[in-house]
A and B are shown apart, each in its own frame.
Chain A
Amino acid sequence: MGSSRPRIFEGLRELPVVGRALDWGMGASAASAETKKAGSRIAGLKVTESVCPYCAVGCGQLVYTRDGELVDVEGNPRSPINQGTLCPKGAASRQLVQQPGRLTKIKYRRPYATEWEELDLETAMDMIAERMIAAREDHWEERDEQGWKVDRTRGFAHLGGATLDNEENYLLKKLYTAMGAIQIENQARI
């Protein structure tokens, strides 16, 4: 292996005393106690199987957690789709969850206000439900201008769904349709 090394060096290496000196500092004495104990930080952690949230290829992910916090997200080697691999976005998905600037509280902006305010979850949910009900009532159409029955509201609309779960889309469509809302759209059309 070391045959390309200058021969003078190689020759010296074989001498009993000098040779030892030449390896000094590169053998066992250099390794620290920490290094000798090294191991992967996910050993012994809880793992959860998930699916990448970015594009539609559907790569399997393994999510390692410790005490309810993400430690590592990597590809699931068992998935026949990606066999453990991930693209840069998928590989960054731990940072997506733990991103700087991640929202954890509701931000509320009054009409014409210049700043955000905070709002607690229950209040916000009440306010939104009120507004949806009001928009439904204010814009209820039983028949359209031709007199055809429509039983609907065009007072509010919905956008988005391609990043959500099917269960979520299902409940959204179910609730909106029951409310008579029809302007329900998502990314499939862009």
Chain B
Amino acid sequence: MTEIAIDRPESRRMGFFTDTTVCIGCKACEVACKQWNDLPADGAVFRKTSSYDHTGSLSASTWRHVRFVEQTEPVPLPDLPAYGGGNGGHGEVDLVAAAEAHGVPQMDRWLFMSDVCKHCTNAGCLDACPTGALIRTEFETVIVQPDVCNGCGYCVPSCPFGVINRDPYDGRAAKCTLCYDRLEDGLEPACAKSCPTDSILFGPYDELVETAKGRVLALHERGVTDAYLYGAGDEPGEQLAGELGAFFLLTAPPERFGLPAQAESPAQENGPVATAAGLAAAALGLAAAVGAFARAHRR
């Protein structure tokens, strides 16, 4: 790939395979990432309706983020009187009436998904970056060079996965580097290393994809027919941003995890079309202006 900025011919593409079916939602990856990369806390904010997720999303200082999805299924209500209810010590307490008025959805599944930069093959941030701060490394990962980034902010809306962001205090954009510095010394990235159940697997990309495919088939055999790979193994034309360096095994539609069903590098998808339209319009505009002048002056 000609995009690669670091020349080490012996390197292979490395990636993450995050298997949500063995994730226990412990957030070790979030903390291990902050520990190794020395990132600050994002501020302690209690978030409503987000289950146990209080960091909210990936940000310039949260490079791994665990989403919690409480999936419920409605069930018929127990048509029964309640202990301490009915005519309890609180006057109007009537839990039975309450039960009838408000259904109690039964817990179906509690899904955890450790989100991270996808290290796309067609990376929107990389395409957008005007300074070359974002580069593709010899491991075919996408990193921001902190000594180059000037904080233009263009990568932020260019990422179709909402990964990269600009730090409001520091002014530079930052995101997961797949622990580029550790990779250089043959070490596993911090999050994958810490993951207690090896839900985050790290390794040579080709091997990971094979493992992941086998995992999906194993789950299918076990009756988990919802299991699928998000970002690897797709047919050309259906790939997500040309395949994701960090891909996932999910068991629910991607929207549940804040992931788009389809994605492409916006610069590659829209850039040529828009440029052509823009230049055409500008040429037309220029011609129109010239024409208008010529007409006016001829008069």
Instruction: Note all chain A residues with C-beta closer than 8 A to B238.
Output: 4
Are B194 and A35 in contact, with the CB atoms below 8 A?
no
Closest chain-B Cβ to A143's Cβ sits at a distance in Å of: 51
Q: How far is the CA of A28 from the CA of B121 in the complex (A)?
A: 17
Instruction: Note all chain B residues with C-beta closer than 8 A to A39.
Output: 181, 184-185
Given A27-B5, A32-B145, A40-B187, CB of A4 within 8 Å of CB of B35:
no
Are A6 and B32 in contact, with the CB atoms below 8 A?
no
A residues contacting the other copy or chain, number (CB 8 A):
42
Instruction: Note all chain A residues with C-beta closer than 8 A to B2.
Output: 23, 26-27
Instruction: Note all chain A residues with C-beta closer than 8 A to B36.
Output: 72, 74
Are B136 and A40 in contact, with the CB atoms below 8 A?
no
| B4 at interface, CB cutoff 8 A | yes
B residues contacting the other copy or chain, number (CB 8 A):
51
Instruction: Note all chain A residues with C-beta closer than 8 A to B5.
Output: 26-31, 35
For window 119-137 of B, CB contacts with A under 8 Å fall at 121-122, 126, 132-136
Closest chain-A Cβ to B232's Cβ sits at a distance in Å of: 12
Q: How far is the CA of A9 from the CA of B275 in the complex (A)?
A: 12
Given A28-B7, A31-B6, CB of A38 within 8 Å of CB of B196:
no
| B30 at interface, CB cutoff 8 A | yes
User: Which of B147, B180, B198, B264 lies in contact with A4, CB distance below 8 A?
Assistant: B264
Q: How far is the CA of A36 from the CA of B184 in the complex (A)?
A: 10
Q: Mark B1-41, 1 if CB is under 8 A from A, else 0.
A: 11111110000000000000000001110111001100000
Chain A's closest residue to B148 (CB) is A32
Are A86 and B32 in contact, with the CB atoms below 8 A?
yes
For window 232-254 of B, CB contacts with A under 8 Å fall at 236-239, 242-243
Are A74 and B32 in contact, with the CB atoms below 8 A?
yes
Are B1 and A1 in contact, with the CB atoms below 8 A?
yes
Instruction: Note all chain B residues with C-beta closer than 8 A to A2.
Output: 121-122, 242
Q: Mark B191-235, 1 if CB is under 8 A from A, else 0.
A: 001111010000000000000000000000000000000000000
Are A91 and B236 in contact, with the CB atoms below 8 A?
no
Are A86 and B122 in contact, with the CB atoms below 8 A?
no
For window 76-98 of A, CB contacts with B under 8 Å fall at 77, 82, 84-92, 94-95
Q: How far is the CA of A164 from the CA of B229 in the complex (A)?
A: 46
Are A85 and B264 in contact, with the CB atoms below 8 A?
no
| B47 at interface, CB cutoff 8 A | no
Given A87-B28, A88-B27, CB of A26 within 8 Å of CB of B135:
yes
| A34 at interface, CB cutoff 8 A | yes
| B269 at interface, CB cutoff 8 A | yes
Q: How far is the CA of A27 from the CA of B6 in the complex (A)?
A: 8
Are B135 and A5 in contact, with the CB atoms below 8 A?
no
Q: How far is the CA of A40 from the CA of B37 in the complex (A)?
A: 10
For window 146-185 of B, CB contacts with A under 8 Å fall at 147-148, 180-182, 184-185
| A159 at interface, CB cutoff 8 A | no
Are A86 and B6 in contact, with the CB atoms below 8 A?
no
Are B31 and A26 in contact, with the CB atoms below 8 A?
no
Instruction: Note all chain A residues with C-beta closer than 8 A to B3.
Output: 23, 26-27
| B74 at interface, CB cutoff 8 A | no
Instruction: Note all chain A residues with C-beta closer than 8 A to B132.
Output: 25-26, 29-30
| A181 at interface, CB cutoff 8 A | no
Are A75 and B185 in contact, with the CB atoms below 8 A?
no
Given A2-B121, A26-B135, A86-B194, CB of A35 within 8 Å of CB of B32:
no
Instruction: Note all chain A residues with C-beta closer than 8 A to B180.
Output: 38
Are A38 and B272 in contact, with the CB atoms below 8 A?
no
Closest chain-A Cβ to B11's Cβ sits at a distance in Å of: 13
Are A1 and B121 in contact, with the CB atoms below 8 A?
yes
> With contacts A25-B132, A26-B126, A92-B35 known, what are 10 further pairs, Cβ within 8 A?
A1-B242, A3-B242, A4-B242, A5-B122, A27-B2, A35-B147, A38-B180, A41-B181, A43-B185, A87-B194
A-B pairs, top 6 by smallest CB distance, nearest first, are: A30-B132, A91-B32, A31-B5, A3-B236, A91-B31, A88-B31
B-side interface residues toward A, CB under 8 Å? 1-7, 26-28, 30-32, 35-36, 121-122, 126, 132-136, 143, 145, 147-148, 180-182, 184-185, 187-188, 190, 193-196, 198, 236-239, 242-243, 264, 268-269, 272-273
13 A-B pairs with CB atoms under 8 Å apart are A1-B121, A2-B242, A3-B236, A3-B242, A26-B3, A27-B2, A27-B3, A30-B134, A86-B194, A87-B26, A88-B26, A91-B28, A91-B31
